[in-house]
């Protein structure tokens, strides 16, 4: 179906997948700095409140708040 709709065959998909998995930490940092720093963004996670997130320390629960641009 992907080939029909987008002209992408299985070999092309696998090549792209391999390139994504070959990315390292510095590659992601470089792309973020080039394309995302000081750009507006939004992040939304929908679901019930989860007490694990509040205690975990890796997640912030923000409700109805305008988020700052990346890099600010």
The sign of the CA dihedral 53, 20, 13, 8 is positive
Give the contacts of 69 (CB within 8 A, at least 6 positions apart): 38, 39, 40, 41
Sequence ranges of the domains in the chain: 2-56
Query: Is pLDDT at 48 greater than 60 in this prediction?
Result: yes
Across the range 1-24, mean pLDDT stands at 87
**Mean pLDDT (the chain, rounded):** 76
pTM of structure: 0.41
d(CA 30, CA 35): 9
Query: Is pLDDT at 60 greater than 80 in this prediction?
Result: no
Query: Is pLDDT at 66 greater than 90 in this prediction?
Result: no
């Amino acid at each position: 179906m992907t080939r029909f709709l987008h002209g992408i065959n299985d070999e092309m998909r696998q090549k792209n997948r391999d390139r994504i998995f070959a990315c390292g930490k510095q590659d992601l940092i470089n792309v973020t700095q080039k394309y995302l720093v000081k750009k507006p963004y939004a992040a939304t996670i929908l679901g019930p409140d989860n007490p694990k997130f509040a205690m975990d320390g890796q997640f912030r629960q923000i409700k109805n708040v305008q988020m700052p641009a990346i890099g600010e």
